[in-house]
Amino acid sequence: MSRFAFNIGFIDRPITFGLLFGAITGDLATALGICVFFELLWLDFFPAGTYIPPNRALPAFLCLALTHMLGLSLPADVLLLLLLTLPTAWLGAKLEGWQRVWQNASYNEAQLWVKDEVQGFRSGALIRRGVLQTVLLQGGTFLLIGLIGLWAVPELLAYWPVTGSDLGWGHLWSAALIGGVLSLRIKAAYGTLLAGLALAFFVIWFTSMSA
């Protein structure tokens, strides 16, 4: 809803609703781990012109809901959910594209009102119809995939080879950051990145030596 129907600023970002979800459920570490992953993953995707970027909220909400309902908190287990829900980001974008095509009927209807029935022009009705379509389409998709996940994830976890490993959130965040790093197309940006990494490694090394 926040992508096209309402402008609510940073509330639609994974890191923001991750904080809210963690504060409500009491498991702030897991919520932030999931949402920081998706925040880093979509760094190089942004809307421009007619391009519809992946729906970053849909997989993040699915992961948050399923981890809470299934009682998962270890990054090794949550990784399975991250991988399973990741394709829904593109599914959500595809649904938005289909809805835009469906809205062509509303556009044509508005054109007729403006030309022939100016007094009967009802823009509010068109807006309410579009918002209702978004709620039913995206909300129904979320509920359907969520129900499938509640049934499938416990079965898949029994065969998940990473369970019990030392995988941490830092590993997952580093993997999610690869796309953002590769999107840097300016040599000076790479130089700044390498200088920052070198400085960070030096600080870590110097701190460990001093200890």
What percent of the chain is modeled with pLDDT above 70?
74
Residue 120 lies in a domain: yes
Residue 159 lies in a domain: yes
Residue 198 lies in a domain: no
Whole-structure pTM over 0.95, yes or no?
Answer: no
Mean pLDDT of 143-165: 85
Positive or negative torsion for Cα 53, 44, 15, 71 = positive
Which pair of tokens denotes residue 63? 């992961």
CA-wise closest residue to 79 among 67, 71, 94, 96: 67
Structural domain count, the chain? 1
Residue 199 lies in a domain: no
Residue 109 lies in a domain: yes
pLDDT 10s digits, 70-114:
998 888 888 889 989 989 988 888 888 887 777 776 666 666 666
CB 38 within 8 A of CB 59: yes
Q: How many whole angstroms separate alpha carbon 28 and alpha carbon 18?
A: 8
Q: Name the more confident of 142 and 187.
A: 142
Q: Amino acid letter at 148?
A: I
Which residue segment(s) compose the domain that 115 sits in? 9-186
Distance of CA 153 to the CA centre of its chain: 19
Residue 205 lies in a domain: no
Residue 204 lies in a domain: no
Residue 123 lies in a domain: yes
Question: Quick check: 117 pLDDT over 80?
Answer: no
> Helix-strand-coil percent breakdown of the chain, rounded to 5?
75, 0, 25
Predicted pLDDT at 110 = 67
Alpha helices in the chain (DSSP H): 14-25, 28-41, 57-70, 75-85, 87-102, 104-116, 123-157, 169-182, 187-210
